[in-house]
Chain A
């Protein structure tokens, strides 16, 4: 089945640790995105990539880093510089064309312990 897979579903981070969230898609989409969702709020864009080996900062990129070495993969690293990382993280992909539908993974819930 085609889709977007995020792993792990739940992740716990100690203070000062970096953690990496995985996002893989087999939809042959060029564009991939990372969003953060806090309780009762909409989604805020962290980073996005419209093509392999290229990515841009979104609205809240500070404390996060990404890579796009393969078309199907777009991992997000939450660094120790992110002061309030506890949130629900969602990965999405689209064909990258102007008129295009966005598809989402099932999310990773990150908690700082």
Chain B
């Protein structure tokens, strides 16, 4: 059974810092790796989707990479801003059905 782990569980950084969030999974036979943002009391907003044949995806200040051989994905956030404060979840998505990590709660201090 696929298991997804996210480390660290919480992260606090000063504004402007570049940071990396980690996601590891136990079964390398994945189809997609999707990163989401969740604000308190809200649903999940899709940030990036990396197909299994891809190694990375970029959107603005966000860059996500996927290394199936090591079972890892990273989300890189450049020049962090207070508005980036949220919980970030990764999900191993197969036909839309996902196994999620517990998330990393990011706080960016002004």
A→B interface (CB under 8 Å): 4, 6, 29, 31, 33, 35, 40-43, 45, 48, 50, 88, 90, 92-107, 109
Contact = CB atoms under 8 A, between A and B. Distances in A.
A12 to B, nearest CB: 16
25 contacts: A4-B43, A31-B96, A33-B97, A35-B100, A42-B89, A43-B44, A43-B89, A43-B98, A93-B96, A94-B93, A95-B96, A98-B94, A98-B95, A100-B93, A100-B95, A100-B96, A101-B34, A101-B93, A103-B46, A104-B36, A104-B44, A104-B46, A105-B43, A107-B42, A107-B43
> Which interface class (under 10, 10 to 19, 20 to 34, 35 or more) fits B?
20 to 34
A85 B32 CA distance: 30
B31 A98 contact: yes
A101 B49 contact: yes
Given A42-B4, A102-B91, A90 B44 contact: yes
A4 B93 CA distance: 18
